[in-house]
Structure 1
């Protein structure tokens, strides 16, 4: 034991001497407060960022809850697969919903998920899961008690903690400055749904959209929700302004919006579009190889304030119609330009 202890101490001293020469770089939670109630352990957990994969929290649930979760996931996956593979509009051979291969796949998928959900964690992982669950509950409790808001930042990809009152004041100031949004006093969801259904039924009756398109674009009443506005803090700018985000994942017009995007987006020329910084470097190398890069080359960058919220809608629709006409796209997936504009208008 004495020899073993001496070896451990030697290794520890050697490791400690190496640590002195290391420069540690790690993301840090941005705290926009004079005082904060969080402990060092809670801030350390939040500093891992929104993309941090927590230990398997489902292992702490009851068996019956885990079985329900497995059934839900199996049904969701199977619904998506059937919807894709049984689509008659696909050129590939479709699979019938009651085919034997579907039943075999269902059984294998259920067995696999049950094994993953029901396998007990190791003692170390179980303790880690409990510790992290305790931290999460403590963070939530303190955020509610102190009326704080935890949000992912707009650019840097870390968490930001701010006062709810500051968020409210900045949101009101933004609405007053731009005039782009107003606070509703009643829920207009049913009116919106009726307008969408009436338009789609009218277009189908006039044979401007096919039956399959009508079914694809029709909102599912049991799943739709009213779109809502929330804000992300721009911590990289002075006084941390807010970026408005409209959540339309379950909106009544989401199916229409996605269909129009998939239909029209391939028409745009991609050679002049820069996707990210890596793509910029690749295009710059090609630019240099063609001999365009000289000592007089100028790089210009600019920003448009509140671009998406301040675009005039009718003018945008007119530009879309003109774009389709110029590129001789009088019909896209069987739909005329006039039909596309009607669908785009109700989305806006």
Structure 2
């Protein structure tokens, strides 16, 4: 079944070009999650011989999808011979390699300085110094996050204090070029470095290498949220940690017994889609397919709910709420409002009386 589904995903890809429909006959669709998984599986099998040779000589080998980085301490001709040999392993895999003492890998520049690897942030020669402009319609915290993310990457990737300072100057120049006020950049810098610099410091950045090393160790040791979740799943699934699973089950049972609240969405399958004219029969079709597929199975106890959302029209998009009272300028006093209301009421009353008298 898995092979059949994989074959459908790979062989049933079509695209439109020049008002004609074409079918893709080689490879997978770009952006497909399955294509990425299959590419990793394929490269894992392809690289086995190369990894085995690197392990035998205690060399480093790393790969991210189709980008490979490896170290080599023998002659350059021997390395070229191995790489040229690797190009014959599969007709659709051709390596384009670069050999040198300073090479980029993804967004990191690695340099071999007398046997010591130095790292820094890599910027492609053709890359433009553009980020989200400060005049764009984004919440203020978005701009702060962009600046702080650039600084965090600079600290993690820079192996020396000097390389970090070079990248910090590049970051500030880039944001100034995109319309960010200098005061906003300095304030964000100071907020980012607040735990490592003195509050009385005149300059909003790290002052010495000791502060840089301390901050780099802290940031490098912090796993991301996704890494933490993966590590937690691995820990709870290993045989050595069965007691953790039991404790987790007991906690879940205790929470369920404590809450004693029925889940309104239990035994319900809810599907939402954006309504379009071509989807007029979508609800009926989904219910029919659900009935035909799961008839005489326990899944039929699940209630299928199909709903649709409408595109927001222009009027709803342009409607805005009234600003808060405290930010409104030229506030009108209550006494003036009362006098105005009395005048309007008297005017309407006179008009009404005049109409009745006529």
TM-score under structure 2 normalisation?
Answer: 0.22
Give the greater-gyration-radius structure (CA).
2
Q: Which has a greater percent of strand?
A: 2
> Larger RCO: Structure 1 or Structure 2 (Cα < 8 Å, ≥ 6 residues apart)?
1
